Structure 1
Amino acid sequence: MKRTRVTMLVVITAFIHCSIAYSQSGDLRQFPKGSSPEEVGKRVAARFLASPHPNFGRPTPPSVITYPEVCAWYGALAFAKESKDKAMANDLAKRFEPLFGADTGLVPKPDHVDHSVFGAVPLELYRQQKDSRYLALGKKIADKQWGTPEGPHVKPESAVYAKEGLTWQTRMWIDDMFMITAVQAQAYRATGNKMYIDRAAKEMVVYLDSLQQPNGLFYHAPDVPFFWGRGNGWMAAGMSELLRSLPKDNPDRPRIMQGYKKMMASLLKYQAADGMWRQLIDDPASWAETSGTGMFTFAMITGVKQGWLDAKTYGPAARKAWLALVTYIDDNGDVREVCEGTNKKNDRQYYLDRKRITGDMHGQAPLLWCAAALLR
């Protein structure tokens, strides 16, 4: 009897140690029930499909499709592809169909980075559905981003940027490095034309040289010295999306990879014990914010999966962040503690006082990106 008790104690102790090791591991393949990428992605994507076109939290419909919806739509399409859910992919295509007809006015004019990113959705739909209408629309938007400056958002410096081989929509906000690179990377994936990915890479280097600080993080803009969470998230996600498709022989790839790894190393230092990152990354008084955390998690998952980052170092951080994020999803499939839409402002309190929203597409999108990346 004594030997049996000793044996049971050894087994139980071993089980506990294994459970602790498993929870602290960097395994990005196996997750507890309810937190797998398949389960989470399906819940959040279903919520997206059931949602009307959002308008930054306002009760009225938007005048055009907003960029947070674009990001969630692209994420849902990526998840549908990686989870091999053809029914979901078809439903996501059906959501787009009215934009070719009665709702064509909802298609944003490609006159600003926040509008031009819309092109990422039809280009992904083309890749999955092979309908030439999607390619024509997405390619037109990607081409216009490097075309002739026109529209209400043109500024005196727009022509200067265009002459330097950059997009005339350049404005030196870190948000741009997802908005610009997403549509250009998608145009490359859809057409195979290196012109798109090459010019996106050139643009990224300019932003890296202008905005990345010695600690690896990014000011929101040159005149706003704060490390805003989601702003840095756009940068992390943008570099990840770009590097994922940037050819190995591209001359700008080493510089972008250097900037990416420098940022990831810095993020490791600022990750909270519970796996989250803050609204202002380096400010202990700031609150845990889900959209930025989701974007950083996506960037780390992608880096580990692609072999850019050391799996033993970054795998546990990515896993911890993912498991933390899942706890912020409510029964409706909505993510809470999402920072509202935020312009730049040289004021710390401005960032700390931003509203915390539940179900905003800024927060829904990164969860879908992460789910797709975990399956990719």
Structure 2
Amino acid sequence: MNKIRNRNLRKTLTTLCFLLVVGLPGYGQKLPKKDEILQQLRLANNYFMEKWPDAGKTIITNKERPANIWTRAVYYEGLMALYTIDADKRYHNYATQWGEKHQWAPARDLFTRNADNQCCGQTYIDLYRLDKQAIQIKAIKDNIDAMVNSDQVDDWDWIDAIQMAMPIFVKLGVTYNDPKYFDKMYALYAHTKYKEGGNGLYNPEDKLWWRDKDFVPPYKEPNGEDCYWARGNGWVVAALVRVLDELPKSDAHYQEYLTDLTNMLAALAPLQRKDGFWNVSLHDPTHFGGKEATGTALFTYGMAWAINKGLVDKKVYLPIVTKAWKALSKESLHKNGFLGYVQGTGKEPKDGQPVTYTSKPDFEDYGLGCFLLAGTEVYKLANSL
């Protein structure tokens, strides 16, 4: 009991110190001008588009994979976000080429239930909304319809899946004005949150998520704290942003999603490093401690979006976003557009290490997607100040 009480006291003191610091005059710096932010986004994106001119070329690392797997799908989420503030026809054409070369189908299997394989559907739906070509949405709609028409709800047994698939359900529900997609989406989310791994992967005490059942207590980090992987929690933040951005406020679970997002942001705020990044292990800065761009970008995305929507206190979160964007754009972004400090694929702090300014992750695409999502919202924020 004393251990729990001491732990809660530490968290309270950390939060109070954080709030005191962000209230000091001159904390952080001003966001750069929107034109500078846009140039940074273009630089990073052009680097990738020039490196991968063929959107259908398979990805070869330790083995060959189709180019519409989740890593590439996250990049296209970012590209479509960039397109909303920078209407360059090249972006639309590049995304369309990607869809066409994969027959507008999920990765690997037409009727997969795996969220990683479904993630590409987010961009297919966005393009369908622009172009109204039935072929763009048919396969992903058929795929999700098969899930909606089944009783199974335990598919999302790792928290990354929430980002990979959850926004597809809300996009289909909005596109077809059909709440059955919203209902199924919540059933899947609720299983992950409340039941997966025993009592769910969300810890209501810390307002953060264990990545999967392997990290539910009694698993501990070297310092004795729970393992909250930065990018895994970043995926949940991104998913909630993308869902809330479209879900009707009249939906029965809208408020729960909103509460989950704002609680997560409040828990993440005092964990930001002095240099603007977040550690890969959120509660153990000594476990592969260091700068990491993907979790940082996803948290920046969520916080900037929440400021833009008036959901959080700008005075508290603007300095955090400013510090984070400075870290991403000045320390992660290279002069040629390459992104450093991107942790490779995996599920925990040790994976893809060492993560450095010059280290190349096994896949370069998803890190860029996270960067573009964050930068697009930071651009909008700078435009409103």
Deviates more, 1:313-322 or 1:134-143: 134-143
Q: CA deviation at 1:369?
A: 0.8
Give the Cα–Cα distance (whole angstroms) in 1 for the partners of residues 137 and 42 of structure 2.
26
Alpha carbons of structure 1 residues 129 and 246: separation in structure 2 relative to 1, 3 Å: same
- TM-score if structure 1 supplies the norm length? 0.78
Show the counterpart of 2:219: none
Q: Which of the residues 134, 141, 155 maps onto 1:169?
A: 155
Show the counterpart of 1:294: 297
Alpha carbons of structure 1 residues 107 and 352: separation in structure 2 relative to 1, 3 Å: closer
Show the counterpart of 2:269: 268
Q: CA deviation at 1:297?
A: 0.6
> Does 2:319 align with 1:304?
no
Give the Cα–Cα distance (whole angstroms) in 2 for the partners of residues 81 and 107 of structure 1.
29
Q: CA deviation at 1:368?
A: 1.1
Give the Cα–Cα distance (whole angstroms) in 2 for the partners of residues 49 and 95 of structure 1.
12
Q: Which of the residues 187, 198, 203 maps onto 2:183?
A: 198
Q: CA deviation at 1:128?
A: 2.0
Show the counterpart of 2:281: 280
Q: Is the 1:71–1:365 Cα contact (8 Å) retained in structure 2? A: yes
What is the correspondence of 1:151-230 to structure 2 with a 5 Å cutoff? 162-163=151-152, 166=153, 169-171=155-157, 173-209=158-194, 210-213=200-203, 214-225=205-216, 226-230=227-231
Structure 1: unaligned runs, 5 residues or longer: 1-19, 149-161
- TM-score if structure 2 supplies the norm length? 0.76
Show the counterpart of 2:47: 47
Q: CA deviation at 1:70?
A: 0.3
Give the Cα–Cα distance (whole angstroms) in 2 for the partners of residues 108 and 21 of structure 1.
53
Structure 2: unaligned runs, 5 residues or longer: 1-24, 195-199, 217-226, 381-385
Show the counterpart of 2:29: 24
Q: Percent identity?
A: 20
Higher normalized helix content (fraction of residues): 1
Show the counterpart of 1:6: none
> Does 2:367 align with 1:363?
yes
Give the Cα–Cα distance (whole angstroms) in 2 for the partners of residues 218 and 275 of structure 1.
21
Show the counterpart of 2:316: 313
Show the counterpart of 1:234: 235
Q: CA deviation at 1:352?
A: 8.3
Over aligned residue pairs, what C-alpha RMSD do you find? 2.8
Deviates more, 1:66-75 or 1:108-117: 108-117
Q: CA deviation at 1:299?
A: 0.7
Output the amino acid matched with 1:229. Answer: A
Q: Is the 2:202–2:208 Cα contact (8 Å) retained in structure 1? A: yes
> For each residue in 1:212-258, what CA deviation from the matched residue of structure 2 results, as whole angstroms up to 9, or x when unmatched?
22111111123314111111111111111111112112121222222
Q: CA deviation at 1:33?
A: 6.7
SS in 1 for 2:340: coil
Structure 1 or 2, whichever has the larger Rg, is 1
Show the counterpart of 1:337: 341
Alignment length, in residue pairs?
A: 329
Q: Is the 1:41–1:368 Cα contact (8 Å) retained in structure 2? A: yes
Alpha carbons of structure 1 residues 352 and 75: separation in structure 2 relative to 1, 3 Å: closer
Q: Is the 2:170–2:246 Cα contact (8 Å) retained in structure 1? A: yes
